[in-house]
Amino acid sequence: MPAPCPCCGTITSDLKALNLLAGRSSVVVSGREIIFSKTLFNLFSHLYRRMPNQVTHDSIMTALYSDSLEPPFDAAVKMHIMKLRRLLEPTELQIVTVWGIGYRLELMTASHKRSKA
């Protein structure tokens, strides 16, 4: 798991200059800043910290809604994943569905990048 900077909290990874900016709820990927809502930033952080492992639907629900008095609709996670995928489209990151389990954040392979273009 990537460690945060002790002075600013920024998390830097080996992914071609990926920085999590918790104070701004944004991520800088290869020099491009993506600004998230608080919920999407928490979701991205949850997936990123567990990369390359898969993350269960239940663990995402806990990470996003543990402070809520009422749990959200079950489809809320799917909706947030859809929004996050759209925001990550211009980057080399993708969210892969692990059917029956949850999701995984990973780098796109060169062949996948070409097939999307």
- Where are the chain's structural domains? 37-116
- Give, for all 117 residues of the chain, the pLDDT tens digit: 454 544 455 544 455 567 888 888 888 887 888 999 999 999 999 999 988 899 998 899 888 887 776 767 778 889 999 999 999 998 888 999 999 999 999 887 644 554 554
Using CB atoms within 10 Å of the CB of residue 47, give its burial: 0 to 12 exposed, 13 to 18 middle, 19+ buried: buried
Integer Cα distance of 39 and 42 in angstroms: 5
Are 15 and 93 within 8 A, CB to CB? yes
- In CATH terms, 37-116 corresponds, of 3.40.309.10, 3.40.718.10, 1.10.10.10, 3.90.1150.10, to 1.10.10.10
The reported pLDDT for the residue numbered 109 is 62
What is this structure's pTM? 0.76
